[in-house]
Structure 1
């Protein structure tokens, strides 16, 4: 199955209220409303796109070691995934798909990192639960996500729903802002230029890992020609 097929299968069971989810229709309707409003806002249209320059960043990995995008790019292109957190099943399935494709990325000289607003404790949990061999970086307050044009504030009615479901973002993130990044995937070239960008305000939709391979192959060819 493709990543999106797995996400669609999970979504169908979740929204049908099948065990163990047992989610009432009113919860699903609220989630659909929030997604529709985010799509209608055109927030994704304001995010960074291919050919834009990616902002440099330094963020801590799960062991609180600083990781610099500039340093990563000295070794090759960078595959970058922004995701919401360990509490999001769609995000976890995406991380697992990236892990399954990790060797393909590395064969093309690329590094892979994921970025979320969660604290280091929850990043360690994400790495452990998803058996990842690439780091998850903690983006406090979604500041790096904002630099990419991805940060958005949850509407009050969605905050109320999350609280009722015990989905305590301030506890997960160590931040009381109730903001999240739109899920996004980027390939960044060694000169800092974005070679591939996919941003979707619908968190149930994610690009396939293989979608990034053409951009990575072009980057590899460009570097080979420059030598």
Structure 2
């Protein structure tokens, strides 16, 4: 089953289990993001990706300019290990890692979580690609991907046991939207997938076809 179908199945299951009030709160947040026109200012195909350096799950600094000397990069942003849609996405990309590498690209994932939490996500999903920590969403903000959670959604996440202050080590209550890029060796973005709906992600097969 491809990732798109897996995501839809999980969404359908959640819809049957969650109270209507919770579903309405989450949909309202998506609608608010759409109304904000966040995609209009987000980095897209043709834009230049900034030279960045971020710590991986073990705290080692990973410099993009060094990676791009040897490989193109497939880069995907995820919200955190607490997000089931993110975990489905990460595992789906892990399953096609060899195909991505065969095309001369390196797969990297970025989230606002601390390295300790990124390490937990890496271990939980048996990931063998780099998972980087974007402290305070600095890189995501530079790319125009960040939004602040409405208070109603913050309260709902708290009721679910999701503590962003703990997992991200800040109190900003901000997350990146779903985003996946292909970055060429000259730093140019040659492919983008962006969505205000956290339930939608780039299909790995489509990314491979774009490499």
1:19-46 Cα shifts (integer Å, max 9, x gaps): xxxx222111100110111112110221
Distance 1:45 1:103 in 2: 33
**2:128 equivalent in structure 1:** 133
Instruction: Indicate yes or no: 2:19 matched with 1:5.
Output: no
1:78-129 Cα shifts (integer Å, max 9, x gaps): 0000000000000000000100110011001101110000011110111111
Return the TM-score normalized by structure 1. 0.91
Further displaced range: 207-216 or 106-115:
207-216
Counterpart secondary structure, 1:146:
helix
Distance 1:166 1:93 in 2: 20
Return the TM-score normalized by structure 2. 0.98
1:14-33 to 2 correspondences below 5 Å = 14-17=14-17, 23-33=18-28
> Rg: which structure is higher?
1
Counterpart secondary structure, 2:161:
coil
Give structure 2 stretches of 5+ with no counterpart: none
Q: CA deviation at 1:162?
A: 1.6
1:199-218 to 2 correspondences below 5 Å = 199-216=194-211
Q: CA deviation at 1:214?
A: 3.4
Give structure 1 stretches of 5+ with no counterpart: 18-22, 217-227
1:28-85 Cα shifts (integer Å, max 9, x gaps): 1100110111112110221111010011110000110000111111111000000000
Aligned length: 211
Distance 1:57 1:175 in 2: 21
- Structure 1 runs of 4+ aligned residues shifted over 3 Å read none
1:136-170 Cα shifts (integer Å, max 9, x gaps): 10000101001111011111111122222221101
Distance 2:206 2:42 in 1: 19
Distance 2:170 2:67 in 1: 27
Q: Match for 1:36 among 28, 31, 35?
A: 31
Q: Match for 2:49 among 46, 54, 63?
A: 54
Q: RMSD in angstroms over aligned alpha carbons?
A: 0.9
Q: CA deviation at 1:196?
A: 0.3
